């Protein structure tokens, strides 16, 4: 890296407009962290591009002066992806928030990266369409692509990688590429789309996305299934998905989460492990699916299986699920948040979940399990006292145990949150010699290491 440039803010204000550049204290602070406990740097300046051309100007300037570029969306990440560990330019993309094109006949939309998932879905309603990928927060679609986000509906519709048809990307030297055509399939050239999805801003800045959208299904039914113990709950989830029932969502809440919900929302759900399930399809199809799922849940000793048919009640239920993290953290004012995010082959899920549950009890870590169990992905949400070295050590040790166990089972250290700062230490163990290939790709595309340095697999050269 070169020395700091004293005229950085002025230079960028000249390249863009003064209203698009800020080095104000509160702006720098806001762009120095996400929703996780990760801290450790702030940007030298924040820019607010309004077009691809603006991004090109900023990136070219950064390349010329070897200044780090850190793309920033809503700042709702959970692994410190947006923390400017070496200062630089935080590129806030929230002003690039236009839906550029809706092509109902092709089930495609073209959006700018600052459009959020809720904004897109509101706009799609009048076409009878929706975009399925559904992480906890109302993140920007650019940020969701950058981390290969997924969420509650992935069991049915896939993750971001499955739902991005093509990206426009500004490369680390300012060139602009489109990663793919709009064809539903292609065998032409290397697949760059899947490479840039999940690259966490380390290969370029995403400036446009072509996304797959879906017809809103005729019928949607949700259900809440309650179980006496955790094991039965996990087993039921695994069995329902294993039976091939095309559930649209199947989410597990440990009883600690139900407690947190009840407190947070002033409600009174039975404090037992619970599955939240959603079925979508034709009237008849949904009925068949529901009956089969109910039967399996009963076989696993389900205490009750309650339907939530009314749209508003269903919306409330999923809002509650999306607020799980806040509800949990609400119990621990002043503490930071950490979340484990392992994903394992479905048959190993009961094993992995039970292990985490047992180690929570044994270690005294303040955590609770919630999960996208249809994908084999679950989180332990953890309250961490970053001022207490003993707690930090205990929590890190727990996280490490959960990750190592998942890797042994053929899983990954992160199913959807991404690597960011928090999971870099597991990359060697998870990928082995494949990590060198990733590093070679990084070096080939970003030889100056200016794109979000120090994240994902990028050990900054000294």
Q: In the window 397-426, what residues touch its own copies (CB under 8 A)?
A: 407, 410-419, 423, 426
Alpha-carbon separation of residue 80 from 29, 75, 297 (angstroms): 14, 9, 38
Q: Which is nearer to its own copies, 194 or 317 (CB)?
A: 194
Interface characters, 247-286, with its own copies (x: CB under 8 A)? -----------------------------------x-xx-
List, in sequence order, every residue forming a beta bridge with 370; answer none if it has no partner: 253, 379
Name the minimum Å distance from CB 216 to its own copies. 10
Q: Which of residues 286-305 bind its own copies (CB under 8 A)?
A: 288
Q: Which is nearer to its own copies, 106 or 401 (CB)?
A: 106
Q: Which is nearer to its own copies, 81 or 394 (CB)?
A: 81
The piece of 90-98, 192-200, 311-319, 358-366 that touches its own copies (CB under 8 A) is 192-200
Q: Which of residues 199-228 bind its own copies (CB under 8 A)?
A: 199, 215
DSSP symbol at 45 = E
User: Residue 334, Cβ neighbours under 10 Å: how many?
Assistant: 9
Query: Hey, what are 44's tokens?
Result: 């030298």
Q: Which is nearer to its own copies, 278 or 416 (CB)?
A: 416
- Residue 55 in the binding site for its own copies (CB under 8 A): no
Q: Which of residues 61-80 bind its own copies (CB under 8 A)?
A: none
**Are the C-beta atoms of residues 458 and 442 closer than 8 Å to each other?**
yes
- Residue 125 in the binding site for its own copies (CB under 8 A): no
Q: Which is nearer to its own copies, 140 or 226 (CB)?
A: 140
Name the minimum Å distance from CB 371 to its own copies. 13
Q: Which is nearer to its own copies, 321 or 348 (CB)?
A: 348
With CB under 8 A as the contact rule, the residue among 188, 268, 312, 389 that binds its own copies is: 188
Angle among Cα 341, 407, 432 to the nearest 5 degrees reads: 115
**Residue 267 CA to chain centroid, in angstroms?**
28
Q: Which is nearer to its own copies, 381 or 414 (CB)?
A: 414
Query: Hey, what are 362's tokens?
Result: 């044994």
Q: What is the DSSP string of 111-177?
A: E-TT-BHHHHHHHHGGGTEE-----SS--BHHHHHHTT---TTHHHH--HHHHEEEEEEE-TTS-EE
Number of residues near its own copies (by CB under 8 A): 87
Beta-strand pair 129-130/214-215: antiparallel
SS3 225: strand
* Residue written as token pair 């929230």: 94
Q: Which of residues 127-186 bind its own copies (CB under 8 A)?
A: 147-150, 154, 158-159, 161-162, 171, 175-186
With CB under 8 A as the contact rule, the residue among 106, 138, 316, 401 that binds its own copies is: 106
Residue of 410, 325, 298, 365 whose CA lies nearest to 136 = 325
Q: Which is nearer to its own copies, 309 or 440 (CB)?
A: 440
Q: Which is nearer to its own copies, 68 or 422 (CB)?
A: 422
- Residue 244 in the binding site for its own copies (CB under 8 A): yes
Name the minimum Å distance from CB 164 to its own copies. 11
- Residue 192 in the binding site for its own copies (CB under 8 A): yes
Query: Hey, what are 301's tokens?
Result: 């000793």
**Are the C-beta atoms of residues 256 and 366 closer than 8 Å to each other?**
no
Q: Which is nearer to its own copies, 11 or 351 (CB)?
A: 351
Q: Which of residues 355-374 bind its own copies (CB under 8 A)?
A: none
Residues 6 or more apart whose CB falls under 8 angstroms from that of 203 comprise 169, 171, 172, 195, 196, 441, 442, 445, 446, 451
Cα(413)–Cα(272) distance, integer angstroms: 27
With CB under 8 A as the contact rule, the residue among 59, 232, 297, 343 that binds its own copies is: 343
Give residue 92's region: left, alpha or beta (phi > 0; psi -120 to 50).
Answer: beta
Q: Which is nearer to its own copies, 45 or 296 (CB)?
A: 296
- Residue 457 in the binding site for its own copies (CB under 8 A): yes
Name the minimum Å distance from CB 230 to its own copies. 20
What are the two backbone dihedrals, phi and then psi, of residue 212, each rounded to the nearest 5 degrees?
A: -80, 135
Strands (DSSP E) along 228-269, which ranges?
249-253
Q: Which of residues 426-445 bind its own copies (CB under 8 A)?
A: 426-427, 430-438, 440-445
Name the minimum Å distance from CB 456 to its own copies. 7
């Amino acid at each position: 890296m070169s020395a700091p440039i004293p005229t950085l803010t002025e230079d960028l204000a000249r390249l863009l407009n003064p209203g698009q550049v800020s080095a104000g204290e509160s702006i720098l602070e806001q762009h120095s962290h996400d929703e996780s406990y990760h801290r450790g740097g702030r940007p030298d300046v924040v820019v607010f591009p309004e077009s691809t051309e603006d991004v090109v100007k900023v990136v070219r300037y950064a390349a010329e002066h070897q200044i780090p570029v850190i793309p920033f969306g809503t700042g709702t990440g959970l692994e410190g992806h947006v923390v400017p560990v070496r200062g630089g330019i935080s590129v806030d993309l929230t002003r690039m928030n236009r839906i550029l094109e809706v092509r109902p006949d092709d089930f495609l939309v073209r959006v700018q990266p600052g459009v959020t998932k809720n904004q897109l879905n509101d706009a799609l309603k009048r076409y009878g369409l929706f975009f399925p990928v559904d992480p906890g927060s109302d993140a920007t679609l650019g940020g969701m692509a950058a981390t290969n986000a997924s969420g509650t509906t992935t069991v049915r519709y896939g993750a971001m990688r499955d739902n991005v048809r093509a990206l426009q990307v500004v490369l680390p030297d300012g060139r602009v590429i489109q990663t793919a055509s709009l064809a539903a399939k292609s065998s032409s050239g290397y697949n760059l789309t899947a490479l840039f999805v999940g690259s966490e801003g380390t290969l370029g800045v995403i400036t446009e996305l072509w996304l797959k959208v879906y017809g809103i299904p005729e019928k949607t039914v949700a259900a809440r299934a309650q179980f006496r113990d955790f094991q039965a709950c996990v087993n039921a989830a695994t069995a329902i998905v294993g039976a091939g029932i095309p559930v649209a969502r199947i989410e597990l809440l440990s009883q600690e989460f139900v407690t947190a919900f009840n407190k947070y929302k002033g409600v009174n759900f039975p404090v037992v492990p619970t599955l939240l399930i959603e079925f979508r399809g034709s009237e008849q199809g949904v009925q068949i699916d529901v009956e089969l799922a109910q039967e399996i849940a009963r076989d696993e000793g389900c205490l009750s299986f309650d339907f939530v048919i009314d749209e508003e009640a269903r919306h409330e239920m999923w809002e509650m699920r999306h607020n799980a993290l806040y509800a949990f953290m609400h119990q621990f004012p002043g503490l930071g948040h950490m979340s484990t995010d392992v994903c394992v082959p479905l048959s190993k899920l009961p094993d992995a979940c039970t292990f985490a549950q047992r180690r929570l009890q044994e270690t005294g870590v303040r955590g609770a399990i919630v999960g996208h169990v249809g994908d084999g992905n679950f989180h332990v949400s953890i309250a961490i006292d970053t001022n207490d070295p003993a707690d930090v050590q205990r929590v890190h040790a727990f996280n490490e145990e959960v990750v190592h166990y998942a890797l042994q089972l053929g899983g990954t250290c992160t199913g959807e949150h991404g690597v960011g700062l928090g999971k870099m230490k597991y990359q060697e163990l998870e990928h082995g010699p494949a990590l060198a290939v990733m590093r070679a790709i990084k070096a080939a595309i970003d030889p100056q290491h200016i794109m979000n340095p120090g994240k994902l697999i990028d050990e900054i050269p000294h």
